[in-house]
Chains A and B, each alone.
Chain A
Amino acid sequence: MGVTQILFWFLSALAIFSAVMVLVSKSPVHSVLWLIAVFFAISGHYILLNAQFLAIVNIIVYAGAIMVLFLFVIMLMNLNKETEPQKNLWMKLTGVVSGGCLLIVLISLVRQATEIKDKIALTNKGDIGLIKVLGKTLFSGYIVPFEISSVLFLSAMIGAVVIGKKD
């Protein structure tokens, strides 16, 4: 068992354990913190798959921005025992059924996909996810949308100032 394989199993176990903890934690803030751990574990997987860009974006956008937003919302809503909504049996049952449906779809998909049969992960293969390749594509074939999106961001920034600044 090489280092990559040990890492792979470790990250997988971490991801699954954290995901379970997201569900069983009583406090919503703890759930969010566990979710951040899940994202970090998945980012580790991306690095193993040679997808550096995806890994970094996953940490910056998901673990960074979106999770902070989650935390803000939870704190703003001020969730505690008294305000917790009553979950009845039907609600739980629907949750189990819909989650189970998704699980069936995913399992059948993995079982049918012949390309990935008997493989743990395609570690260290391919260069499609490398930042170098991505940068080259971005600055050759996709240069026009890349540059034009700056207009979009500029107008959004002006908008934020116009709306946000005190008169």
Chain B
Amino acid sequence: MNAIIFSALIGVVMMLSGIVIKSKTGIKNLAVILLFVLLGGHLAEFYGVFNIHLDTHEMLATTRFGMFFNTIVITATLFYALLSGDEVVKVGTYGAEYFALIFFALCGVTILSAYNNLLMLFLGVEIMTIPLFVLTGSEKKNLKSNEAALKYFLMGSFSTGILLMGIALYYGATGLFTIEAARNPNDTHHFYGILLPLGLLFIFISLAFKVSAAPFHFWTPDVYDGAPSVFTSFMATIVKAAGFIAFIKLFEIRAFDMSFSWKILLPLIIVLTLLAGNITAVFQQSVKRMLAYSSIAQAGFMLFALYTPNEFGKQGILLYAAAYSLATIGIFAVLMKMKDYTFEGYNGLAKTQPVLAAANTVFLLSLAGIPLTAGFFAKYYMLAGALKESSSNLWLVIVAVLFAAVSVYYYFRVIQAMYFKEGNAETIEVKPFFKILLIIVAAVIILIGLMPSLLLDLFYA
């Protein structure tokens, strides 16, 4: 509860601070301080020190899993603000408002990690995405940004419509909005037979859209490419992970009767997502667009957590959220320092900016899932969970590993450009503080890669 209330209030504080604070660094520093406050408030609840208790009438149910996820998300946002906060205020004239919107989106994320009622799911999804529509279009003079915002808004509206339709059908079948209702459907209702699966399917489609799983991924490359890089970084990491948490919370309820059609539908979507993301990423010329496709590909791996609703899957998605978010935030932070976003723009970066190149290499290795980085264990947990669920999933695991091998190609293209190609990569000014932070993030990724138990022990502590 703390995280929801704090993030909403901090959003208001941030919004009003724009009246008083005029300097751009001041706004950024305030945002970082407030993020520390948010993290502190959340940890206080996590460790039972201080908690604002409200009777939510079972609308929200805070679980250990959700709280742990919130910790990861808020920490990732903190790293994001530290690394890229300067770019946020540079996008336009409304730095304080951009940060306020980021805090509101965080409020949506925390609701999604705790919802127990489909009304809250709807509110959480909307609170999370509406600020994103605005942030996508915040670069007003840029035609691509405008186009991306309009596309995102229209597609997002339709997917919200589908979500509401699904919730309505769900309500029609069970007479309740609680997610528990799917477990004990009201048998006396004679339409239950088709209404509930149909409703769940609609909700599934809408959430699949939010996490950009194929075949609902077509908006992703254009939106991620068109949006200002700094907001793409936020959208592709924190928001996407939150989508998965919402997904898992709803569908783990149904896990007890993984029906036949469900067992066909999900692997199909996983394979399609991996295929669409990986194969298209190979042909990209711009690193930013490549990262958009790679985020689709990573979503394919995260979908495994949905397919294997056991402890492995749950731990795996936490690990994946942490590994993927940190690595992607780091890559985008480096990307924003580049003057040229194409692969050629990275040529010879190792000579001009060795620290940036080295940290970027660690992030890329982690995304590719190379051992000794956090990404390896994240992928391992996902695949191991699928095998544990049933050995008949072996084909799916093999397909996933093959696609992970494909992904190595386009991630390594950046590394190759940085280290083995002649060129003079031009960057904007890089502060020493930024370099130190990058090294810290890279160190965290390697640390999690060496000892994933460090992170997961916290989960059980």
Contact = CB atoms under 8 A, between A and B. Distances in A.
Interface in A149-167: 149, 151-152, 154-156, 158-159, 161-163, 167
A144 B130 contact: no
B46 interface: no
Interface residues of B, number: 37
Given A149-B123, A151-B11, A159 B57 contact: no
A99 to B, nearest CB: 22
Indicate the member of A143, A152, A156, A163 with the most B CB atoms within 10 Å. A152
Interface string B96-118: 01101100110110010000010
A167 B134 CA distance: 15
Contacts of A145: 59, 117, 119-120, 123
A47 B93 CA distance: 49
Contacts of A167: 92-93, 140-141
B49 interface: no
B140 A163 contact: yes
A152 B120 contact: no
Contact of A144 (B57, B100, B104, B133): B57
A70 interface: no
Given A149-B123, A167-B140, A159 B12 contact: no
Interface residues of A, number: 19
A152 B97 contact: no
Interface in B347-392: none
A148 interface: yes
Contacts of A143: 57
Indicate the member of A143, A156, A158 with the most B CB atoms within 10 Å. A158
B227 interface: no
Nearest to B93: A167
Contacts of A152: 123, 126-127, 130
A72 interface: no
Interface in B42-67: 54, 56-57, 59-60
B138 interface: yes
Given A142-B57, A155-B127, A155-B130, 16 more contacts: A142-B59, A145-B119, A145-B123, A148-B8, A148-B111, A149-B123, A151-B104, A152-B127, A154-B11, A159-B101, A159-B130, A162-B98, A162-B134, A163-B137, A163-B140, A167-B93
